[in-house]
């Protein structure tokens, strides 16, 4: 496939029942074959994570609002967050909500903030679980979770809700940096072993507003974040399918995590964008998995 | 296990790393063994669903807000809904959000409603995908999805966010009723085959407010809903682990689904509460899966 027309790629995914359109952007359904490939990729990563002795955890798509507040998420990414609002009223107010909906009028002002928000990244629920002192060699946790980003888009790789397979390392600064760099290499090899034309680059998070550019430049200068890039909807602007992040003490400090030496623990994480990796496979190898290269099939259908 | 102390059961789940407490009620993490049992149960249901030729679909935990509005969800269950609010402002407002959070002040009024809500039941995203005319024999769809209910509780079986494995039948009234009743029997056998002391009863949804009691009575009188009940946190008030629902034209009408004869299609669904079934297994057979009865292990570790 040499053409990189996002609309045509989207229509191809729909035509092959790999995704099902819904009434809002970036929230489409996934078909049976799409899910099967995504699962198989996840199990391939399972094998790597198990070999490393990572602890498996699993969390719902919502997290404690205080987690977001304690790690200053709204300072940097207020535009991306999704918070959960519910109705707290009695009968009369409930009737008004119904009546407004039936009349097509706004009803958001009838609701109030709850104690939960959508997880902005799959790893966020893990940090408060780590409060305390780590074992001597630190810890590695792995999970697959739903992340939410309020960025409705027609581009299929930019979703409001998507799964990320993460590994998270806790320990001393040296442990975290060494781990992040080793996984950077290992992740690139893994993605390339699936026949994807992946390259790697230093990267920055999508910080908000006028101050955001400066924060992004700082992150790049310190080489805190690397991404693996694969052409999915554009040859010239490839899509980030995996990222490798060194957090320094960004989570260790607010959640009071200490390494065995008594210092504030550092952390690092890596995340495979599961839908993006799956789309990269369909873009690269075509919509019919039976026709995928033998080497790729052997990796995913072992 | 003869005691039914919810607090003790919760502590047992925590002690055995089957669940991980978090800072809010009903949003705990799930441990590796808990997830493994849940997956195995899901694969057991996969085999039943495949035998029936069900179409597999998968959806994110958020859905189009209009879906909720079109099927009158807020008329009946306004207290349970979770809607997603985001920040739409520019720099100055973003600074105010940050400042309020750092000062521990409320910041919900700085946000506004988005186009998405949390799925209140796993099957909701399916209905708008069915608009149009069904094949002659109707359709059966199956999926596992996250449902949200705004009902924070200390009781471990009452979660704010949980997975439901659903099968959904579309067709004529006769097709849907016959299917619902056949699955009612089949579901009971499936749950009993796992050594769970399940019974079945007619049931009602948790309708809101003063009018709710009347709606519930109507639902019971018409036998629209049945539930499978298993003692998990109480012997006298067993927990609903599975439900079987006949919707009549509740979804066919707003989403313009027609059966092959041109009439408005009816629908029925069944849902296994995956966390509740998993907890029922741990409550019934103990926290150590190695010690579970041979017949149960053969079903889940085939």
Q: Quick check: B91 contacting A, CB < 8 Å?
A: yes
A contacts of B98 (beta carbons < 8 Å): 72, 74-75, 78
Cβ within 8 Å, pair B86-A150: yes
A200: Cα separation from own chain's centroid: 17
- Please indicate whether, in this complex, the C-beta atoms of A91 and B209 are within 8 angstroms of each other: yes
Contact B57 A27 (CB under 8 A): no
> What pLDDT is stored for residue B211 in this prediction?
87
CA of A206 to nearest chain B CA: how many angstroms apart? 15
Whole-number Å distance between alpha carbons of B170 and B176: 7
Q: What is the dihedral of CA B223, B44, B130, B251, to 10 degrees?
A: 20
In the numeric block, the tokens 């690269």 are attached to A284
Q: What is residue A5's predicted lDDT score, i.e. its pLDDT?
A: 84
A65 at interface of B, judged by CB pairs closer than 8 A: yes
- Inter-chain touch B116–A209, beta carbons under 8 Å: no
pLDDT digits 0-9 by tens, B127-168:
999 999 999 999 999 999 999 999 999 999 999 999 999 999
The closest alpha carbon to A270, from A299, A295, A248, A241, belongs to A241
B63: distance to nearest CA of chain A, Å?
7
Which residues of chain B lie closer than 8 angstroms to A146, CB-CB?
60-61, 146
Does the predicted TM-score (pTM) go above 0.90? Answer: yes
Each residue's pLDDT tens digit in chain B (302 positions)? 455 788 999 999 999 999 999 999 999 999 999 999 999 999 999 999 999 999 999 999 999 999 999 999 999 999 999 999 999 999 999 999 999 999 999 999 999 999 999 999 999 999 999 999 999 999 999 999 999 999 999 999 999 999 999 999 999 999 999 999 999 999 999 999 999 999 999 999 999 998 899 999 999 999 999 999 999 998 889 999 999 999 999 999 999 999 999 999 999 999 999 999 999 999 999 999 999 999 999 999 99
For A49-108, the pLDDT digits (tens) are: 999 999 999 999 999 999 999 999 999 999 999 999 999 999 999 999 999 999 999 999
Nearest residue in chain B measured CA to CA from A107: B113
B29:A111 CB<8 A: no
CB contact under 8 A, B32 and A108: no
Q: Is B195 on the interface with A (CB under 8 A)?
A: no
Asked if A74 lies within 8 A of B111 by C-beta distance, the reply is: no
Distances (CA, A) of A143 to A54, A124, A240, B60, B136: 9, 11, 19, 17, 42
The confidence score (pLDDT) of residue B1 equals 44
> Rounded to an integer, what distance in angstroms lies between the CA atom of residue B273 and that of residue B279?
10
- Residue A222 makes CB contacts below 8 A (sequence gap 6+) with none
Tens of pLDDT, residue by residue over B226-236, are 999 999 998 88
Task: Pick out chain A residues at pLDDT < 70.
Answer: 1-3
* CA-wise closest residue to A43 among A31, A56, A32, A30: A56
pLDDT digits (tens, 9 = 90+) for A149-178: 999 999 999 999 999 999 999 999 999 999
């Amino acid at each position: 496939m040499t053409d990189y027309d996002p609309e045509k790629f989207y229509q191809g995914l729909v035509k092959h029942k790999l995704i099902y359109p819904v009434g809002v952007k970036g929230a489409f359904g996934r078909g049976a074959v799409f899910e099967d490939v995504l699962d198989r990729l996840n199990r391939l990563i399972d094998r790597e994570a198990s070999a490393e002795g990572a602890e498996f955890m699993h969390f719902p798509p919502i997290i404690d609002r205080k987690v977001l507040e304690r790690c200053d998420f709204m300072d940097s990414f207020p535009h991306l967050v999704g918070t959960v609002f519910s109705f707290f009223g009695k009968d009369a107010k409930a009737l008004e909500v119904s009546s407004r909906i039936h009349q097509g009028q706004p009803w958001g002002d009838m609701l109030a903030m709850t104690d939960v928000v959508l997880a902005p990244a799959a790893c966020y629920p893990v940090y408060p679980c780590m409060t305390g002192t780590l074992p001597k060699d630190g810890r590695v946790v792995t999970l697959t979770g739903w992340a939410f980003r309020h960025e409705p888009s027609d581009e299929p790789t930019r979703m409001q809700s998507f799964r990320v397979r993460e590994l998270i390392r806790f320990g001393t600064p040296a442990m975290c940096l060494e781990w992040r760099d080793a996984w950077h290499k290992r992740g690139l090899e893994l993605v390339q072993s699936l026949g994807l034309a992946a390259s790697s680059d230093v990267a920055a998070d999508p910080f908000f507003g006028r101050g955001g550019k400066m924060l992004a430049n700082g992150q790049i200068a310190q080489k805190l974040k690397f991404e693996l890039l694969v052409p999915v909807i554009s040859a010239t602007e490839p899509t980030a399918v995996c990222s490798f992040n060194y957090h320094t003490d960004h989570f260790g400090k607010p959640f009071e995590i200490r390494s065995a030496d008594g210092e504030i623990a550092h952390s690092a994480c890596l995340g495979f964008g599961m839908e993006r990796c799956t789309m990269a496979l369909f873009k690269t190898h075509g919509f019919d998995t039976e026709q995928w290269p033998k080497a790729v099939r052997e990796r995913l259908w072992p």
